[in-house]
Amino acid sequence: MLDLVILMAMKVHIPFTYEDYKSLPESETKRYELLGGELVMVPAPLTYHQRVSRNLEGFLWDFVKDNELGEVYSAPIDVVLGRPGKEDVVQPDILFVAKDRLSIIAEEEIRGAPDLVVEIFSPSTAERDRTYKKRLYGRNGVKELWLVDPDLKTVEVFQWTRRGFQSKAVYGHKDQLVSPLLPGLTIPLREVF
């Protein structure tokens, strides 16, 4: 106990590990992410955020299911990225894993980069979603990223290239979203926002 008090007094930063994260008590009301060794509490999203998420997931799941392309999941679900001992754990709002990569889906988490990640901005997460998590997804092999701004009613679609994520399009609430990763998928955003 004295060692802990001394460390706290010295303000020594001890990063959280994946094992620490997994040992947190289960909670029906609290969600966490592990980003760069820091435990980040993610507040529950607003009802409008959840409506947008449900609508997007519905269109995506119907298309994936009808075409037998893989699996779609929504938060909360842990996605473990990085090498052992240096893992980041994120909970994207929506994700897609292609059929040929279903082996990354474990009982307790997704172990590796989904093919598609959808992040829907909340006031407390927007900056982190645009910066840290976008870089994290790129470093770990996410092929396509949708950043959804419920306030502006837009979806920006990014595709991974050798130069990093490149913006392919920004769709407004009157547009039809199309996905470079999933040819044939069109989502009428007026039915999402």
CATH class of 44-191: alpha beta
Per-residue pLDDT in tens (0 to 9) along the chain, 193 residues: 445 444 444 555 566 666 665 655 555 445 776 667 676 667 677 899 999 999 999 999 999 999 999 999 999 999 999 988 889 999 999 999 999 999 999 999 999 999 999 999 998 889 999 999 999 999 999 999 999 999 999 999 999 999 999 999 999 999 999 999 999 999 999 999 9
Q: What pLDDT is attached to residue 21? A: 58
Q: What is the dihedral of CA 96, 100, 101, 103, to 10 degrees?
A: 120
Q: What pLDDT is attached to residue 193? A: 97
| Token output for 70 | 């893989």
H helices of the chain, in order, are 2-9, 18-22, 47-66, 126-128, 134-140
Rounded Cα–Cα distance for residues 126 and 113 (Å): 20
**Do the beta carbons of residue 18 and residue 89 sit within 8 Å?**
yes
Rounded Cα–Cα distance for residues 67 and 99 (Å): 11
**Do the beta carbons of residue 114 and residue 91 sit within 8 Å?**
no
**What is the CB-side half-sphere exposure of residue 87 using CA atoms within 13 A?**
21
Q: What is the pTM of this model?
A: 0.81
Give the residue among 26, 30, 94 at the shortest CA–CA distance from 59: 94
Question: Could you tell me the residue ranges of all domains in the chain?
Answer: 44-191
| Token output for 104 | 């990354």
Rounded Cα–Cα distance for residues 134 and 46 (Å): 22
Q: What pLDDT is attached to residue 85? A: 86
Q: What pLDDT is attached to residue 57? A: 98
* Burial 74-94, CB ≥16 within 10 A → b, else e: bbebbbbbbeeeebbbbbbbb
Q: How many residues appear in the chain?
A: 193
Stated as kind and residue range, the H or E segment containing 117 is strand 116-120
| Token output for 123 | 């006031």
Q: What pLDDT is attached to residue 13? A: 58
Give the residue among 78, 143, 76 at the shortest CA–CA distance from 116: 143
